[in-house]
């Protein structure tokens, strides 16, 4: 067990907590600067003590060769979405792609791996009344909204991809999503966030038709909630894996639980939360110091959508927040030199240790990066310029022009033409991959 000096050394020598602190030190008050080491070490020691008290730290086993020969029969699916790179120019129509990498290592070549993609255009996704071509007066607002639309589209699309796998009754042993299994929906509760088109919703969630798809039903919040509820019903385990966490949901919930039990006083709870905020301490930072390579902390059940928080307050959607499922979050520290990754699921794990060991093994295949390699693979897949597949390229081109011409706006048309005639990224400039040669 680490003592205080150990912890301090760890903080100084190799933690992202320290790096992060140094980065922010300029803006921090002298007192905060002075106390950083002592305070963060003390927080770490305290949290460690609580984790041990609650028996939340667990050791995972990894024996590369044996592990894989025992698990080669498992079918895993990795899902990631991306914004189509070739179309990022100004506020031109954007396409969202989701890729699935499905692999069963011991299957014959023909059936060993599948790369599946689905693609959609924002213009097709959102209600035409909020056509992306309508330039807003304010560039900043326009960008903000565009980014939200992109995010919303990606989040929905990833969730829907998983739902499709479930609906098609795919026989997976595992399914992993690159990112949170349940995103914070707060940004999409702002006034004026467009609803999805009827066509889009029908296509995304064919079974979802309550209220005959009125505007409210087609809003992001409702569609996403519907998707999450289907994911929750999955027979196979589904995990969202998050690279780095820039908040502290685990620590805060841990402290909250202890406060509820009466183990921590209200006062201590409040002041510790304030300290965490002051020093910008996150789950990743702290657990990086506390956990050893190959260790995990068992999940806690956490509410993702917190009522009365920020913008949501007073919004028409406020009441809806309670309907969202809670999330089980845990962490695994893959190796010595990277922060632990966050593991999220909508249901409690039936085979927690086995599942975590599987995740550890997939991440050990990227020994430096320390992230499940299947997600890295599907990330690359979703980023490949889509003119590689002829059909999507053609679809894209005609779609873009049609949209532009329909808008009857000369600027838009010329923009579309510009994009179409723009030299696509040479295939040689693809993201690096393959064995170093």
Contacts with another protein, 63-102, as mask; x by CB under 8 A: -xx--xx-xx---x------------------------x-
3-state helix, strand, coil in the chain (%, to 5): 50, 15, 35
Whole-angstrom Cα distance, residue 359 to residue 372?
Answer: 6
- Taking the complex as a whole, the smallest distance from the CB of residue 74 to another protein amounts, in Å, to 8
Angle formed by the axes of helices 30-53 and 249-261, nearest 10°? 60
Closest by Cα among 264, 186, 180 to 220: 186
Q: Which of 126, 188, 224, 381 binds another protein (CB under 8 A)?
A: 381
Footprint of another protein on 396-425 (CB under 8 A): 423-424
Please, what sign has the CA dihedral across residues 416, 422, 428, 433? negative
Nearer to another protein, 86 or 253 (CB): 86
Whole-angstrom Cα distance, residue 170 to residue 168?
Answer: 5
- Taking the complex as a whole, the smallest distance from the CB of residue 331 to another protein amounts, in Å, to 21
Footprint of another protein on 114-173 (CB under 8 A): 115
- Taking the complex as a whole, the smallest distance from the CB of residue 364 to another protein amounts, in Å, to 6
- Taking the complex as a whole, the smallest distance from the CB of residue 105 to another protein amounts, in Å, to 5
DSSP string computed for 138-156: SHHHHHHHHHHHHHHHHHH
Q: Which of 32, 365, 413, 420 binds another protein (CB under 8 A)?
A: 365
Q: Which of 28, 373, 401, 413 binds another protein (CB under 8 A)?
A: 373
Q: How many residues make contact with another protein (CB under 8 A)?
A: 46
Nearer to another protein, 176 or 208 (CB): 176
Whole-angstrom Cα distance, residue 374 to residue 362?
Answer: 7
Asked if 336 is part of the footprint of another protein (rule: CB under 8 A), the reply reads: no
Whole-angstrom Cα distance, residue 170 to residue 408?
Answer: 45
What 3-state class would DSSP assign to 238?
A: strand
Phi, psi dihedral angles at 103 (to 5 degrees): -140, 135
Please, what sign has the CA dihedral across residues 317, 318, 319, 322? positive
Bridge-partner residues for 4, per DSSP? none
Nearer to another protein, 76 or 282 (CB): 76
Contacts with another protein, 345-364, as mask; x by CB under 8 A: -----------------x-x
Nearer to another protein, 152 or 237 (CB): 237
Whole-angstrom Cα distance, residue 278 to residue 270?
Answer: 12
Angle formed by the axes of helices 64-71 and 352-364, nearest 10°? 120
Q: Which of 22, 388, 405, 417 binds another protein (CB under 8 A)?
A: 388
Nearer to another protein, 270 or 418 (CB): 418
Q: Which of 5, 59, 421, 426 binds another protein (CB under 8 A)?
A: 426
Closest by Cα among 359, 384, 385, 300 to 62: 359
Residues contacting 238, CB < 8 A, separation 6+: 162, 174, 175, 176, 177, 181, 231, 345, 346
Residues 314-349 as b or e (16 or more Cβ within 10 Å = b): ebebeebbeebbebbbbbbbbbeebbbbbbbbbeeb
Asked if 434 is part of the footprint of another protein (rule: CB under 8 A), the reply reads: yes
Nearer to another protein, 101 or 279 (CB): 101
Nearer to another protein, 68 or 256 (CB): 68
Q: Which of 42, 50, 105, 315 binds another protein (CB under 8 A)?
A: 105
Bridge-partner residues for 118, per DSSP? 98
The DSSP letter of residue 189 is G
Asked if 377 is part of the footprint of another protein (rule: CB under 8 A), the reply reads: yes
Nearer to another protein, 313 or 389 (CB): 389
Nearer to another protein, 105 or 128 (CB): 105
- Taking the complex as a whole, the smallest distance from the CB of residue 110 to another protein amounts, in Å, to 8
Task: Say how many residues make up the chain.
Answer: 437
Segment lying near another protein (by CB under 8 A), choices 50-58, 103-111, 194-202, 405-413: 103-111
Site for another protein, rule CB under 8 A: 64-65, 68-69, 71-72, 76, 101, 103, 105-106, 109, 112-113, 115, 362, 364-369, 373-374, 376-377, 380-381, 384, 387-390, 393-394, 423-424, 426-427, 430-436
């Amino acid at each position: 067990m680490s003592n205080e000096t150990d912890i301090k050394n760890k903080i100084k020598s190799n933690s992202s907590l320290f790096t992060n602190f140094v980065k922010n030190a300029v803006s921090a008050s002298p007192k905060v600067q002075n106390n950083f080491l002592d305070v963060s070490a003390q927080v770490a020691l305290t949290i460690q003590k609580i984790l041990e008290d609650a028996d939340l730290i667990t050791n995972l086993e990894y024996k590369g060769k044996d592990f894989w020969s025992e698990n080669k029969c498992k079918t895993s699916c990795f899902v990631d979405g991306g914004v189509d790179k070739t179309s990022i120019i100004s506020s031109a129509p954007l396409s969202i792609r989701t890729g699935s990498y499905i692999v069963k290592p011991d299957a014959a070549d023909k059936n060993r791996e599948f790369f599946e993609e689905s693609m959609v255009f924002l213009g097709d996704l959102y209600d035409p009344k909020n056509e992306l071509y309508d330039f807003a007066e304010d560039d900043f607002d326009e960008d903000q909204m565009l980014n939200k639309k992109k995010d919303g589209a990606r989040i929905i699309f990833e969730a829907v991809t998983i739902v499709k796998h479930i609906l098609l009754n795919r026989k997976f042993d595992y399914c992993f999503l690159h990112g949170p299994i349940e995103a914070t929906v707060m940004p999409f509760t702002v006034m004026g966030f467009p609803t999805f088109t009827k066509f889009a919703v029908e296509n995304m969630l064919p079974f979802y038709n309550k209220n005959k798809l009125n505007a409210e039903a087609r809003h992001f919040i409702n569609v996403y909630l519907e998707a999450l509820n289907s994911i929750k019903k999955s027979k196979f385990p589904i995990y969202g894996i998050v690279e780095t966490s820039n908040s502290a949901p685990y620590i805060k919930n841990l402290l909250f639980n202890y406060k509820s039990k009466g183990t921590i006083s209200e006062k201590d709870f409040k002041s510790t939360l304030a300290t965490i905020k002051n020093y910008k301490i996150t789950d990743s930072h702290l657990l990086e110091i506390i956990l050893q390579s190959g260790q995990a902390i068992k999940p806690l059940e956490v509410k993702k959508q917190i009522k009365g928080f920020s913008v949501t307050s007073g919004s028409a959607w406020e009441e809806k927040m309670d309907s969202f499922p809670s999330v089980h979050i845990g962490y695994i520290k893959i190796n010595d030199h990277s922060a632990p990754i966050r593991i999220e699921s909508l249901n409690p794990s039936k085979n927690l240790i086995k599942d975590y060991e599987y995740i550890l093994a997939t991440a050990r295949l990227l020994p430096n990066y320390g992230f499940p390699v299947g997600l890295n693979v599907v990330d690359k897949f979703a980023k490949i310029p889509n003119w590689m597949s002829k059909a999507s390229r053609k679809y894209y081109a005609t779609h873009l022009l049609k949209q532009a011409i329909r808008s009857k706006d000369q600027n838009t048309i010329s923009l579309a033409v510009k994009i179409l005639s723009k030299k696509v990224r040479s295939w040689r400039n693809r993201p690096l991959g393959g064995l170093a040669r």
